[in-house]
Structure 1
Amino acid sequence: MYNSVRRAAEVHRQVRKYMRSILKPGMLMTDLCETLENMVRKLIKEDGLEAGIAFPTGCSLNWVAAHWTPNSGDKTVLQYDDVMKLDFGTHIDGDASWRIVDCAFTVAFNPMFNPLLEASREATNAGVKEAGIDVRLCDVGAAIQEVMESYEVEINGKVFQVKSVRNLNGHSIGPYQIHASKSIPIVKGGEQTKMEEGEFFAIETFGSTGKGYVREDLDCSIYMKNFDVGHIPLRLPRAKQLLFTINKNFSTLAFCRRYLDRLGESKYLMALKNLSDTGIVQVNATAEKNDAKLLDRNSKVIMSQTTENDDEEAQADGPALNGSAESAKKKKKKSKAKKKKEPLQQTNPPSIPVDELFPSGEFPEGEIQQYKDDNLWRTTSEEKRELERLEKPMYNSVRRAAEVHRQVRKYMRSILKPGMLMTDLCETLENMVRKLIKEDGLQAGIAFPTGCSLNWVAAHWTPNSGDKTVLQYDDVMKLDFGTHIDGDASWRIVDCAFTVAFNPMFNPLLEASREATNAGVKEAGIDVRLCDVGAAIQEVMESYEVEINGKVFQVKSVRNLNGHSIGPYQIHAGKSVPIVKGGEQTKMEEGEFFAIETFASTGKGYVREDLECSHYMKNFDVGHIPLRLPRAKQLLVTINKSFSTLAFCRRYLDRLGETKYLMALKNLCDTGIVQPYPPLCDVKGSYVSQFEHTILLRPTCKEVISRGDDY
C-alpha cells in the first residue's frame, strides 16, 4: 500500500515541477488546468477509478481561497499581480487500499507577495512537524497559527498582518474519500481528537491579508457525490443518466463541469441541480475571502514531500537492507575510490566564467554550413584548410564570446516576464556578460549597450538611468546585445539578437523575422552579392501574415535597416547587408564577419529617428578636433579609455562615475567626434520583430558563430 501511494506522490512531484517551469503571466486558466491534468493522466497511466486525477485542479486567484477551477469557455487569464493556489491530487488503487495524494502550492510572480507565501509554507511545515500518533488535532492547529501569524507582508506600501483562515482546515484522507472524518484546524482551540496510527492526513494552511474567514461565492464548478448517500429515487430521466456517468467515472471522487464536458455530456445543468437538490451530489461552492485582499495557500501530504538529497539517501540506505552495516561501509568506500572528478557545470543563474568551463581552451564551434554551387571545391581544398589552421586562435576567441552570448541569453529567456523594470532587465544581463566573459577593459566585455526596443521602436533604445518603463504582457521586445574579445590581435564582436513576446498572437511576426534571418544566413557566402542576400530575406519575410486583435497585417521588411559587416573595433564596418531586394552588387569575401539581421514590421516598413537618445559611439575614423570645453575634453578621455570606438550609453557613463556630462556630450556630438544613435521607430501602434546572427566566412565553410539550441 505504501508503494502505491508513493507512486502517486512521484507523479505529483514530476507534474508540479514541470508546471512551475512553464507558469507565466498571460496563460489562459483553462489551458493551464488542461495541461496539468493531461500530464497527470499520462504519467499515472489513467485507468478509470483505479488510477488518475483525484479531484479537479484548483487554481483559485487572490481573495478566492479554494474550490475554483475554470468552467469550459472561461476566459480568465493569469496576471503578473495574481496570487494563485495550485491544488491538485493523484490517486492509485493499490492492493485494495485506494488513497489520494493531496498537495498544493502557491504561485506569485510579483516578489512583494513572498512573505505571504513564506508564511503559509512555514506554517504547513510547522503543522507537519507537530503531527504524530496520539497528537491532538488542536495542538497541530495551535502550532500552525503561531507560525502563520508571526508574519507581516507589505503590499503596495501598506503593511498587513498575515492571518490563518479560521474556517478552513486540513483533513484526514480515507479510502475513496478525500475529506474523511477528522479535520485539522489551522488556528488554536480546535477539537481534542487524537491522530491515530496508520492514518493519512493532508496538512494544509491558508494565510490571508483579509479577515481570515471565508464564505461561499461565485459560480460553482466543483461537485462530489456524497460518500454515504443511500438510494434516493429520481424523477428526471436525465438526472438518472447523469448519475450513471458520475458513478462510473468518478464514484465519490470530486469532479467539475469540464470533466463532464470531456466525457461528452451536454445540457446537464438542470440534471446536476436535481442531483444536488436531492442530496446525492454535494456542491463544493467557491470559498471566497470576505473583504480580503489576497489569500495564499500551501498544503502538503507528508508522503509528497521531497528533498534534494533523496537519491543520495536511497543509495546510502540500500546496502544495509541486504547485508550488514559493515559491508555497506565497504561498498561505499569502494565506490568512492572509483569516482572521477565531475566536469565543472555552469550554475543557475550563470556565474562561472566561460573559460573555466572549458579548461582545454577549445570553445564550441557554431553551426557549420557548406558553401554551394561554384564554391563547393573549398570544402576539400588543402590550401584553404591550411589557411583555417593559421586562423584557429582567432576563431577560438570569437567562439568564446559566442558561448558567453548563448549562456546569458538562455538565462535571460528563463527569467523574462511581464512586470520587469527595463533598467533591471538590462543591468542583470550586462552584469552577467561582464562576469562570464571576465571583463577586462577593451580586451573583453560588452560590445554595445543592450538594445531592448519595444513594439514600434525597431532599434537603438535602451533605458537611461531613472527610466521607469516596465515590460508588459502585450509588448514585443527586441533583445539585442553583443560580446567581444580581443584574441591574438584580432578583436571581433559577436552581435546577436532575438525577440520576446508573451502574447502568442505575435508568434507569426516573430517567426517571419527568425526564418528570414535563417534564409539570409543560408544565402550568404564567399562571392555572393549582397543584393541577392536581401532578395532571399525579403522573399521569406513577406510571405507571412499576422492577425493582431482581429486585424490581419502583411509582414514587411523594414527597408532602411540592414545587416552589416563587422571589423576589428568596428561594429558597423564598410558593407551593408540589405533585407529587401535591389541592394548593392558588392560581394562578400573570404574571412569576413557579417551580422545577418532582419526586421519584420506590421507598419510602413520604414523607420525614422525619434524619442530620447541613449546610444552613442565615437566615430571610427575621426581625426584630431580641437575642443574648447574643458568638460568635453575630460569626457572624451573617459570615452577613449573605456569604450574607444565601441558604442556606449548614458547608463555606462553613470556607472563610471561621470556626472553633469550632457552639455559636454552634446559638444562632442556637435563637433562630429561622437555620433548619436537615436531610437529608430516605425509608425506608432505597429509592431517590429528582429532576429540576428553573426556569421564567419571561413575559407572552407560558413560558420554561424552565434547559433544555439534556442534559435
Structure 2
Amino acid sequence: MNDDIYSAYMEAGALAKRFREEAAGMVVPGASVLELVDTIEQAILDEGAGIAFPLNISINEDAAHDTAGPGDERLFCEGDVVKVDLGVHIDGYVADTAQTIDLGDHALLVEASREALNAAIALVCPGVTTGELGTAIQHEIESRGFRPVANLTGHGLSQYSLHGEPMIPNVAMTGGAVIEEGMVFAVEPFASTGTGMVSDGTRTLIYSQIANRGVRLASAKRVLNQIRDRRSLPFSKRWLTGDKIDLALSTLKKNGVVRGYPVLHDIPGSYVSQAEHTLIVTEDGCVATTL
C-alpha cells in the first residue's frame, strides 16, 4: 500500500463515518426510508465521492441487502431496529461501515454487535488469525444472551472490490487466515434474537454486474449502459431509468450478466443488530478508517 492508496482509504472512511452518522440521525418514527436513502446517496455524490453500494436500510429481522425500492412508501415505526449500512469509495478504495438505531427497547441487542466489533478491533494485528476474531465476536454476543449470525461475515476490501479475502467470521473457528500488515477489511458482527442464520427473502433491489456479454433485448442494453461505470460495484434497481426494467434485469440474470442480492432475514418476529468498521492493518495493530 502506497501513500496515495492509504490517503484514498482514509478519505473514504472519513466521509463514510460522516454520512453514516447523518443517516442515523434521520432514522426517526414517521420518517421516509426512501427520502433518507435518496438524501444520503446524493450527499455522497455531491462530495465528489462514489457510492460503493446502495445505502442499505434493513429493519427488524432483515439483516442485510435491503434498500429503498422505486416509489418506496415505507416509514420507520416505533419499536423498529434499523441497520444503516453505507459504503463510500474514492477511486475505488472503499470504506464500509454500519450502525444500528434502536427505535424501541433493544439497547442490549445493539450493544451486543457494537461491543463484539470493538472486541475484534482490539485484537487485530499481524499474526492474529481470523478465527480468533470470530471467537471474540461470538463471546461478546452470546454473553448478552443473543446469537451471532453465523452465515454472514466480514470481508476483505480492495480497489473496486467489496468481498474479498480475508473472510472474518462472526463465530468461533479454528485457525483461519493469518492477518498481515497492509490488509484492508471490514469487520461486521450481527447479533440476533432469532436463529442466528439468515436466508434469502422474496425481494431483490440490489444487483451487480458479474460478466460482460452481449444481449439483444433493448431494455437490457439500456441497463448495461447505465451501470457500465460501476465497474462491478453493486447498483440499485431504483437508480435505473426507462421502461421494462424488471424484464431487463430478469434477462441479464438469466444470461449470467448480473446477479441479484435478495434481502437477507432471520425468522419473522426476530430482531437483528449490526455494527461495522473498515480496518487497515498496521505494523502493530490497525487503523479504523470509519471510527
Measured against the shorter chain, the TM-score band is: over 0.9
Whether 1:480 and 2:85 are equivalent positions in the alignment is yes
Which of the pair has more CA radius of gyration? 1
| TM-score, with structure 2 as normaliser | 0.95
Aligned counterpart, 1:559: 150
Matches of 1:610 and 1:588 in 2, distance apart? Answer: 33
Aligned counterpart, 2:97: 496
- Cα deviation for residue 517 of structure 1 reads 0.7
604, 609, 612: which one pairs with 2:195? 604
Whether 1:434 and 2:41 are equivalent positions in the alignment is no
- The structure with higher relative contact order (CA 8 Å, sep 6+) is 2
Aligned counterpart, 1:636: 224
Q: Deviations over 1:299-318 (max 9, x none)?
A: xxxxxxxxxxxxxxxxxxxx
**Kept after mapping to 1: 8 A contact 2:126/2:285:** no
Whether 1:527 and 2:127 are equivalent positions in the alignment is yes
Aligned counterpart, 1:697: 281
Matches of 2:69 and 2:38 in 1, distance apart? Answer: 11
**Kept after mapping to 1: 8 A contact 2:41/2:55:** yes
Aligned counterpart, 2:61: 456
Give the 3 Å change call, closer, same or farther, for CA 469–629 of structure 1 in structure 2: same
- Cα deviation for residue 396 of structure 1 reads 1.6
Paired residue secondary structure (1:581)? coil
**Kept after mapping to 1: 8 A contact 2:219/2:243:** no
- Cα deviation for residue 538 of structure 1 reads 0.4
- Cα deviation for residue 647 of structure 1 reads 0.6
Aligned counterpart, 2:262: 678
Whether 1:663 and 2:247 are equivalent positions in the alignment is yes
- Cα deviation for residue 587 of structure 1 reads 1.7
- Cα deviation for residue 700 of structure 1 reads 4.9
Matched letter for residue 673 of structure 1: V
Aligned counterpart, 2:111: 511
Aligned counterpart, 1:617: 208
**Kept after mapping to 1: 8 A contact 2:17/2:97:** no
Q: Deviations over 1:581-636 (max 9, x none)?
A: 126622222211110001000000000001310011112xx3x4343423323322
Q: Deviations over 1:27-86 (max 9, x none)?
A: xxxxxxxxxxxxxxxxxxxxxxxxxxxxxxxxxxxxxxxxxxxxxxxxxxxxxxxxxxxx
Matches of 2:25 and 2:249 in 1, distance apart? Answer: 37
Q: Deviations over 1:382-441 (max 9, x none)?
A: xxxxxx7xx222222222112212222333333431001110111121122222x22xxx
| TM-score, with structure 1 as normaliser | 0.40
Which protein has the bigger strand share?
A: 2
Aligned counterpart, 1:133: none
Give the 3 Å change call, closer, same or farther, for CA 601–396 of structure 1 in structure 2: same
Give the 3 Å change call, closer, same or farther, for CA 632–415 of structure 1 in structure 2: closer
Q: CA RMSD in A?
A: 1.6
Aligned counterpart, 2:161: 570
Matched letter for residue 537 of structure 1: I
Whether 1:468 and 2:69 are equivalent positions in the alignment is no
The residue correspondences of 1:114-153 to structure 2 (distance < 5 A) are none
The residue correspondences of 1:34-49 to structure 2 (distance < 5 A) are none
Matches of 1:585 and 1:396 in 2, distance apart? Answer: 29
Paired residue secondary structure (1:625)? coil
Matches of 1:415 and 1:625 in 2, distance apart? Answer: 40
**Kept after mapping to 2: 8 A contact 1:695/1:704:** yes
177, 180, 202: which one pairs with 1:589? 180
**Residue-pair matches, total:** 291
**Gapped regions of structure 1 (runs ≥ 5):** 1-387, 439-443, 545-553
Aligned counterpart, 1:543: 143
Matches of 1:495 and 1:541 in 2, distance apart? Answer: 21
Whether 1:407 and 2:41 are equivalent positions in the alignment is no
Matches of 2:135 and 2:256 in 1, distance apart? Answer: 34
Aligned counterpart, 1:423: 34
- Cα deviation for residue 658 of structure 1 reads 3.2
Aligned counterpart, 2:51: 446
